[in-house]
Amino acid sequence: MERIKVLIVDDSALVRQMLQAMLESDSAIEVVGAASDPYVARDMIKEHRPDVLTLDVEMPRMDGVSFLRNLMRLHPMPVVMVSSLTEKGADVTLQAMELGAIDFVTKPKIDLAHTFEQYGEEICQKVKAAARVSRSSLERQYARYVANQQSHPKVEVLPASRPSEKYSADAIIKPLSSPARHFKTTEKIIAIGASTGGTEAIKEVLMRMPASCPGIVISQHIPAAFSGPFAVRMDSVSQMTVMEAKDRQQILPGHVYVAPGGKHLLVERDGARYICRLNDGSPVNRHKPSVDVMFRSVAQNVGINAVGVILTGMGADGALGLQEIQQSGSPTIAQDQKTSVVWGMPGEAVKLGAADQILPLDKIAKVILDLVTK
């Protein structure tokens, strides 16, 4: 089996050295070069024809987003961004995701030499996931970006949490011995979970939702510094009001609540209303927020009045939770393989039989609206 050829692009010699060591620790990966800036990278791409690029966000001579824009226009290839955990780094990285970057890893600002290496396993996983993305998928993403730029004013992930023990949703919410009974009401809740490629998939769904849509809760794997800027970017393209969720906040029609990075988002019943609850417990499936946690809370507390949707993402987080929503009597949707950046999470849900419908991304919003108006 041929190894995945990776080109590292970063202006820091230390980061280039550390990335190379981390990537080459995986026998499935071969680092074919390391470039100090995009101009050097351009020539090395022609020479080495890498399968995946790791690209620094902030570099001299040409920033990472400008280089990525040119790359996706002329020679689309899978790119994993390397970003700093800052507000500026978050905004620029989300721009890169819009352009077609597959994923990102974050580098610590303090004591880089002793802390960055802890993310080696995560970096290798993301590079290997990126290598599986087809050129046609990248071309479709760039075409969506161009179309959105033409129709909207210029005004998007995964966390860099340290590897942790793998807990299930039981660590946050205990399973019920039998599904809770709920009466059918006119008040609906739409629950959406996503990971790799999800920032753009979520945007495609939200752009098609009217202001009169029932309340939406979202768990996207994203670090704390990124969830706020992500919510702001989604608010700028949606007719709904999009915000980062706050604890005990009422879930209202026409509003979207994004789980804060580093916190689980749960939906609970408080009298006659639904509210957001934030939980600072253990990561579940090594994620915080976890889609499984949010979906289980929806299954237990909303039941037949929900719609569960699982979008593109690496791994399996959310698959079991979607099954629980289905078992509670609510309809469920999984994004199809062709339009997913990574068909991990939705693919696992489909294997479980947890998805009532498997749909291309551009059809999901209409089907959701049809379901909530029945």
- Residues annotated as catalytic are 195, 221, 317
- What type of residue is 334? A
**The two three-digit tokens of residue 263, written as one number:** 């916190």
Cα 102 from Cα 104, distance rounded (Å): 7
Query: Given its phi and psi angles, is residue 236 left (phi above 0), alpha (psi -120 to 50 degrees) or beta?
Result: alpha
SS3 call for 169: helix
* Residues in Cβ contact with 235 at an 8 Å cutoff, skipping those fewer than 6 apart: 241, 242, 243, 256
Cα 354 from Cα 323, distance rounded (Å): 4
- The radius of gyration of the chain's CA atoms, rounded to the nearest angstrom, is 20
DSSP calls for 244-306:
E--TTPBP-TTEEEEPPTTSEEEEEEETTEEEEEEE----BTTBSS-HHHHHHHHHHHTGGGE
- What count of Cα atoms within 13 Å lies in the side-chain half-sphere of residue 354? 28
* Burial environment of residue 232 by CB neighbours within 10 A (0 to 12, 13 to 18, 19 or more): middle
Cα 169 from Cα 63, distance rounded (Å): 40
